[in-house]
Amino acid sequence: LSKVELKNVKTGMKMAYTIVSESEANLKQGKISVTTPIAQGLLGKKVGDVAEITIPQGKISLEITGISF
């Protein structure tokens, strides 16, 4: 149940997600499953790291700006 604050390096758009189990996932509430490509790409990263994540629309670079539990 980590809350991760991200910034899209290309667009500057900021977002925040809570990483939860598959059964709790609800994108409208900002909860993404630990099995999603975004969550998988963030595992093991720390604040300041940039994660290169492959999503169906292509590759995105997300900078981790905050992590809370």
54-67 pLDDT, tens digit per residue, is 988 899 999 999 99
**Tokens describing residue 10:** 């290309």
Quote the pLDDT of residue 40.
94
Quote the pLDDT of residue 15.
96
Q: Which residue has the higher pLDDT, 20 or 56?
A: 20
56 phi/psi in degrees, rounded to 5: -55, -30
**Tokens describing residue 17:** 């997600």
- pTM higher than 0.85, yes or no? yes
Residue 21: pLDDT above 80? yes
Distance (Å) of CA 8 to CA 11, 13, 39, 52: 6, 5, 14, 10
